[in-house]
């Protein structure tokens, strides 16, 4: 079992989401819950690799 929760909200579940998130994706998901207006710098740039979804 591998899950990540923030403020009682499930952010990532290995079984549901298919594996483990990369660090940039995880930072974006957590940021979206706790401080959606915060810029993560390079992780938010369009040219940064994103998971195909």
* pTM over 0.75, yes/no: no
Residues 46-53 have a mean pLDDT of 54
Decide if 52 is inside a domain.
no
Decide if 13 is inside a domain.
yes
pLDDT on residue 42: 73
Look at residue 50 and tell me whether its pLDDT is greater than 70. no
What is the domain count for the chain? 1
Between these two residues, 49 and 19, which has the higher pLDDT value? 19
Decide if 48 is inside a domain.
no
Q: 35: domain CATH number? A: 3.40.30.10
pLDDT on residue 41: 78
Q: What is the DSSP string of the chain?
A: --EEEETTEEEEEHHHHTS---HHHHHHHHHHHH-TT---GGGGSTTS-----
Decide if 46 is inside a domain.
no
Decide if 12 is inside a domain.
yes
What pLDDT digit, counting tens, does each position of 4-48 carry? 999 899 999 999 999 999 988 899 999 999 988 888 877 676 655
Domain containing residue 10? 3-39
């Amino acid at each position: 079992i591998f899950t990540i929760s923030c403020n009682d909200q499930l952010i990532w579940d290995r079984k549901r989401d298919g594996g483990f998130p990369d660090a940039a994706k995880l930072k974006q998901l957590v940021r979206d819950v706790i401080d959606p207006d915060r810029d993560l710098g390079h992780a938010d740039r369009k040219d940064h690799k994103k998971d195909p979804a």
